[in-house]
């Protein structure tokens, strides 16, 4: 065994030749006989391993967050007192409290709380069901780019012989859309006075 002070590069040549023969199938001295893919394979693996985290990071950070719209409880529903519609979350409806998601009036206006602020809406359309006795309707409202669709299903009508009955009960799905952002909420309520 030689000491480190007597070590020379030429002592490693047999080891290099043997590792080249095992990895490449030939001697390093005969590069032209070596198959290119065997020679390049380790470098390709290293390059892919080094670039994979960068590609993964780019794919996760390149997407902007999806826009959202949040339906809340109307803060000042009293402006819309009188004839109109009022819808609540089912839990609030069952408690018979005054927490409303949607309130409209006879002037074809409505108010909703969107993203923390009460927003006044104007009616832009109404679609009745296919028959005159249909129990499904769609009421549409809008303010600038904000669109509201109220899909109504009658749950109880007034008895025609009851002259004192002035309300119709509904289940309604209210959908608010602003650009690509959209939120829907199931509600219960009434229209009338």
Statement to judge: residues 103 and 20 lie in one domain? no
Question: How far apart are the two ends of the chain, measured CA to CA in Å?
Answer: 106
pLDDT tens-digit map of 38-86: 555 666 666 556 666 665 555 555 566 667 899 999 998 877 778 899 9
What is the pLDDT at residue 94? Answer: 95
Structural domains of the chain, count: 2
Residue 76 lies in a domain: yes
Statement to judge: residues 50 and 121 lie in one domain? no
In sign, the C-alpha dihedral spanning 21, 25, 28, 30 is positive
Q: Could you tell me which residue, 42 or 11, shows the higher pLDDT?
A: 42
Statement to judge: residues 113 and 146 lie in one domain? yes
Statement to judge: residues 133 and 83 lie in one domain? yes
Residue 85 lies in a domain: yes
Q: Could you tell me which residue, 104 or 55, shows the higher pLDDT?
A: 104
Q: Which residue has the tokens 């001295």?
A: 29
Output the six-digit token pair for 173.
């799905």
What is the pLDDT at residue 80? Answer: 76
Residue 165: give the domain boundaries: 71-192
71-101 in b/e burial notation, b at 16+ Cβ within 10 A?
Answer: beebeebeebeeebbbbbbeebbeeeeeebb
pTM above 0.85, yes or no: no
17-31, 66-80, 88-102, 125-139, range with the lowest pLDDT: 17-31
CB 109 within 8 A of CB 120: yes
**Is residue 22 scored above 60 in pLDDT?**
no
CB 107 within 8 A of CB 117: no
Residue 75 to residue 112: CA distance in whole angstroms: 9
Residue 22 lies in a domain: yes
**Is residue 132 scored above 80 in pLDDT?**
no
Statement to judge: residues 75 and 54 lie in one domain? no
What is the pLDDT at residue 82? Answer: 80
Mean pLDDT of 117-131: 89
What is the pLDDT at residue 52? Answer: 62
Residue 153 lies in a domain: yes
Statement to judge: residues 46 and 112 lie in one domain? no
Residue 180 to residue 66: CA distance in whole angstroms: 8
Residue 21 lies in a domain: yes
pLDDT tens-digit map of 133-187: 679 999 999 999 999 999 999 999 988 899 899 899 999 999 999 999 999 999 9
Element (H, E) at 159: none
Statement to judge: residues 105 and 169 lie in one domain? yes
Interhelix angle 36-61/13-24, nearest 10 degrees: 70
Residue 66 lies in a domain: no
Residue 52 lies in a domain: yes
Statement to judge: residues 96 and 131 lie in one domain? yes
What is the pLDDT at residue 31? Answer: 47
Give the angle 144-135-106 at the CA atoms, nearest 5°: 45
């Amino acid at each position: 065994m030689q000491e480190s002070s007597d070590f020379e590069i030429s002592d490693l040549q047999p080891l290099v030749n043997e590792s080249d023969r095992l990895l490449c199938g030939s001697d390093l001295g005969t590069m032209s006989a070596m198959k290119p893919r065997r020679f390049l394979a380790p470098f390709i693996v290293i390059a892919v391993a080094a670039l994979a985290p960068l590609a993964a990071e780019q794919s996760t950070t390149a997407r902007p967050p999806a826009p959202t719209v949040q339906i809340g409880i109307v803060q000042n529903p009293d402006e819309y007192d009188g004839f109109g519609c009022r819808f609540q979350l089912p839990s609030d409806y069952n408690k018979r409290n005054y927490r409303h998601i949607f309130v409209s009036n006879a002037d074809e206006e409505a108010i909703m709380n969107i993203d923390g602020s009460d927003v006044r809406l104007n009616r832009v359309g109404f679609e009745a069901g296919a028959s005159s006795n249909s129990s499904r309707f769609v009421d549409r409202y809008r303010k600038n780019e904000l669109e509201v669709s109220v899909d109504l299903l009658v749950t109880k009508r007034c008895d025609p012989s009851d002259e004192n009955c002035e309300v119709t009960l509904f289940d309604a799905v209210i959908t608010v859309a602003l650009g690509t952002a959209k939120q829907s909420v199931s509600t219960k309520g009434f229209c009338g006075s």
